[in-house]
């Protein structure tokens, strides 16, 4: 029969690995032949083709996942259609084709409804939800209702049919949802449960991931010493996870390095922070996956704080391109805002203000989550002050402080400091600024955030000196300055030293 069709020039014969294969000469001929089959016959043939591929290529099915998904979605085999759509979606995620991943996983969520067995349906749906959460976070925003809804449904299903690995993924995913809403205590509790689960299983990747995400959560919650301990633990555990690395494990590594760099800076070790940030940035650039740059976004904080805006801007430019190539509109907007912060500090604050405001407009704070949104709004306050627009800066700070549920705990003290700076910019001797700096010092002391405490103390000492309270100013500035053991060539410590000299210290 094949020979007759070949002689009639309907099909071609061509060599294939270990055999021959046949292909239609014209796509139209194939389409007419396909449509001439009765629907039931067509479904049977698709099912048989899928089963044949499973047998023939059992040792390398990964090369045929798209074909298998196609055949089983065209048949009446809902369980296999769902299974292969899930695998195609996960494969696309690993290959950084996020739009394709999202499309396949969404198709799988439609197909899973047709799976007759309730237990099998629940297991397949759970796997789909855990796979789709990753793309939703980057494409729609970590604080978006879709990502939150997916994780809450996954949490329900995990209680019924989840494995240890799936329970772990749900705990980490719920941590993202809680962090986005500013509920740090509940997020930290999820991390604690994830650490306990990882310790019970004693699985290296799980242990490393639990430590990495705990580090970031503790850092964002203002518990810097604990955050640094977990970050160092996660980085140390990375050596046990070489070879086989999951996407979750890679994310945890980037996050741990970022959390370590930021914690070191705020705890008062700027030289160690810059070294760790440089290593993290190098590592992120070595990995081809675009989310390496995106997950390491908080590294910018170190470079901006240490007066290295050019490095921060170049890093942000790379991340914007990575986000746009992957179709992450939300993250592209966020990174453009980050770029605006760097541009403002490079000497063009007006342009920086415009870019940050545009980012906040394109991607609302709710979608960003509490911590990135707080960082970006603080950057806007700072850029406005640099542009001499002090009234606007004060108004932005007041709006942020008035609704502290939208302000990440870590940034509370720094926001008071920025408001004080804006007040001083408008009126160098304003008494209101003293209260802001005092509040900033109180909060940052409680967090052991020596770097921010230094900045606030420096500003308060300068203000007190103008009020003829030189002894009080010198005493408080000497105490914080003498605490530091490194970073004396940074702008903040140089300013403190110069002011101490003026005060006779």
Q: How far is CA 116 from CA 79, 112, 124, in A?
A: 8, 9, 12
The answer to whether residues 298 and 258 touch, using CB atoms and an 8 Å cutoff, is yes
The answer to whether residues 455 and 417 touch, using CB atoms and an 8 Å cutoff, is yes
Question: What was the pLDDT predicted at 329?
Answer: 74
Q: Which residue has the tokens 């190098």?
A: 282
Question: What was the pLDDT predicted at 177?
Answer: 85
Helix (H/G/I), strand (E/B), else coil: 317: helix
> Nearest CA to 215 among 181, 174, 254?
254
> For 82-112, how does the pLDDT look when each residue is reduced to its tens digit (9 = 90+)?
999 999 999 988 777 778 888 999 999 999 9
> For 187-234, how does the pLDDT look when each residue is reduced to its tens digit (9 = 90+)?
999 999 999 999 999 988 899 999 999 999 999 889 999 999 999 999
Give pTM, 2 decimals. Answer: 0.85
> Nearest CA to 422 among 404, 442, 397, 401?
397
Q: How far is CA 393 from CA 66, 126, 255, 310, 417, in A?
A: 53, 46, 31, 24, 12
**pLDDT tens digits for the chain (505 residues)?**
999 999 999 999 988 777 888 999 999 999 999 999 999 999 999 999 999 999 999 999 999 999 999 999 999 899 999 999 999 999 988 777 778 888 999 999 999 999 999 999 999 999 999 988 877 776 666 666 777 888 899 999 999 999 999 999 999 989 988 887 778 899 999 999 999 999 999 988 899 999 999 999 999 889 999 999 999 999 999 877 765 566 667 778 888 888 999 999 999 999 999 999 998 888 777 765 656 665 566 788 899 999 999 999 998 888 888 778 777 777 788 888 999 999 999 999 999 999 999 988 876 655 556 677 788 899 999 999 999 999 999 999 999 898 776 667 888 999 999 999 999 999 866 788 999 999 999 999 999 999 999 999 999 999 999 888 999 999 999 999 999 999 999 999 999 999 999 998 6
CA distance 427 to 464: 14
Question: What was the pLDDT predicted at 98?
Answer: 77
CA distance 110 to 406: 35
Question: What was the pLDDT predicted at 376?
Answer: 87
């Amino acid at each position: 029969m094949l020979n007759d069709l070949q002689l009639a020039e309907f099909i071609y014969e061509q060599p294939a690995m270990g055999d021959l294969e046949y292909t239609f000469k014209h796509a139209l001929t194939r389409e007419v032949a396909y449509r001439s089959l009765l629907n039931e016959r067509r479904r049977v043939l698709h099912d048989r083709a899928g089963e044949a591929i499973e047998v023939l290529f059992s040792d390398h099915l990964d090369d045929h996942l798209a074909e298998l998904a196609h055949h089983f979605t065209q048949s009446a085999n809902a369980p296999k259609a769902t299974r292969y759509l899930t695998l195609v979606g996960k494969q696309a995620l690993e290959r950084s084709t996020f739009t394709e991943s999202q499309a396949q996983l969404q198709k799988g969520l439609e197909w899973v409804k047709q799976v007759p067995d309730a237990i099998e349906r629940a297991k397949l749906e759970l796997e789909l939800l855990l796979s789709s959460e990753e793309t939703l976070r980057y494409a729609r925003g970590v604080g978006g209702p879709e990502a939150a809804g997916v994780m809450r449904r996954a949490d329900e299903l995990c209680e019924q049919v989840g494995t240890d690995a799936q329970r772990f993924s749900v705990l980490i995913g719920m941590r993202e949802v809680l962090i986005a809403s500013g509920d740090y205590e509940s997020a930290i509790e999820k991390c604690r449960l994830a650490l306990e689960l990882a310790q019970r299983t004693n699985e290296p990747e799980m242990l490393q991931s639990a430590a990495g995400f705990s580090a970031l959560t503790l850092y964002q919650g203002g518990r810097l010493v604990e955050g640094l301990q977990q970050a160092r633990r996660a980085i140390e555990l990375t050596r046990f996870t070489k070879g086989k690395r999951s996407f979750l494990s890679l994310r945890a590594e980037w996050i741990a390095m970022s959390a370590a760099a930021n914690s070191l800076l705020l705890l008062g070790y700027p030289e160690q922070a810059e070294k760790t940030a440089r290593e993290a940035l190098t590592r992120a650039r070595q990995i081809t996956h675009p989310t390496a740059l995106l997950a390491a976004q908080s590294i910018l904080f170190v470079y901006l704080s240490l007066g290295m805006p050019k490095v921060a801007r170049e890093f942000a430019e790379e991340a914007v391109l990575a986000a746009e190539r992957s179709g992450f509109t939300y993250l592209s907007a966020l990174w453009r805002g980050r770029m605006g912060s760097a541009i403002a500090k490079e000497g063009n604050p007006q342009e920086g203000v415009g870019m940050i405001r545009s980012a906040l407009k394109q991607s609302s704070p709710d979608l960003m989550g509490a911590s990135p949104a707080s960082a970006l709004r603080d950057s806007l306050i700072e850029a406005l002050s640099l542009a001499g627009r002090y009234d606007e800066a004060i108004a932005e700070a007041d709006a942020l402080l008035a609704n502290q549920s939208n302000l990440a705990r870590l940034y509370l003290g720094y926001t008071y400091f920025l408001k004080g700076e804006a007040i001083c910019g408008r009126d160098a001797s304003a008494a209101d600024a003293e209260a802001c700096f005092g509040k900033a010092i109180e909060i940052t002391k409680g967090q052991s955030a020596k770097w921010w405490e230094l900045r606030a103390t420096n500003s308060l000492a300068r203000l007190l000196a103008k009020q003829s309270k030189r002894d009080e100013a010198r005493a408080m500035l000497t105490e914080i300055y003498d605490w530091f053991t490194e970073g004396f060539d940074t702008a903040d410590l140089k300013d403190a030293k110069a002011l101490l000299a003026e005060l006779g210290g």
